[in-house]
Amino acid sequence: MELAISIEESVDLIPDGATVMLSGFMGVGVPDKIVHALADAGKRDLTLISNDTARDTTGPGPLFAAKCVRKLICSHMGLNTIVQAQYAAGELEVELTPQGTFVERIRAAGVGLGGILTPTGVGTKIAEGKEIVEVDGKEYLLETPLRADFALIAARSCDYVGNLAYMLTATNFNPIMALAGDKVICEPEEIVPVGMIPPDLVKTPGVLVDYVIKKAA
């Protein structure tokens, strides 16, 4: 499996200052080994694109505990006390975006759109500094695509050519983020021969996946 790399090699690929997209919803569907390895490596000045910050020790939490993140783009940050403290102290830049807008901005990047039009946020602080477009007499915000240098995703199963299958709600943001990273690194629970994953269960085709974390010997 030529795209298989070790957890250490995956961390070496990600430089300080990179923009990193991280899958998961409140710790579910997060590539936990990569997150902990990045934190242990002491990466710095990352821009993190993640739906939420989960809690202090779950999901992306270890990245904040290790002060790896300079800027956070998310839809919810309120349950992580470390994130709250860093934001209050001015140590962390935060860009909040409504969850539906968040995922559609990622989708826009993945499918090559120049942005999306949404009525969500019109007339609120969300609209400050953004272009307003009128369509059929209704105002919409122009929201720009969200793309990342690296998309870090988790999967239930991966075959030898990188086709991915996910489990239930752990699917969440994984398939859409796999479209929007310049380099996609997947942490699967298992790697299986080609043909073991039924075609209708493949949610991310291998052509989108650049690297897969192999099991430690």
The reply to whether the predicted model has a pTM over 0.85 is yes
Residue 60 has pLDDT above 60, yes or no: yes
Residue 2 has pLDDT above 80, yes or no: no
CATH superfamily for domain 4-114+144-213 = Glutaconate Coenzyme A-transferase (3.40.1080.10)
Per-residue pLDDT at 216: 65
Domain positions in the chain: 4-114+144-213
Q: What digits encode the pLDDT tens for the residues 143-174? A: 999 999 999 999 999 999 999 999 999 999 99
Q: Are strands 132-135 and 138-143 parallel, antiparallel or unpaired?
A: antiparallel
Per-residue pLDDT at 66: 98
Predicted confidence band of residue 1 (pLDDT cuts 50, 70, 90): low
Q: Are strands 116-118 and 93-96 parallel, antiparallel or unpaired?
A: unpaired
Q: What is the mean pLDDT of residues 176-203?
A: 97
Q: What digits encode the pLDDT tens for the residues 17-26? A: 999 999 999 9
Closest listed residue to residue 83, CA positions, set 48, 113, 112: 48
Percentage of the chain modeled with pLDDT above 90: 95
Q: What digits encode the pLDDT tens for the residues 85-124? A: 999 999 999 999 999 999 999 999 999 999 999 999 999 9
How far is residue 128's CA from residue 24's CA, in Å, rounded to a whole number? 28
Residues with Cβ < 8 Å from 52, sequence gap 6 or more?
Answer: 24, 25, 26, 59, 74, 75, 76, 77, 79
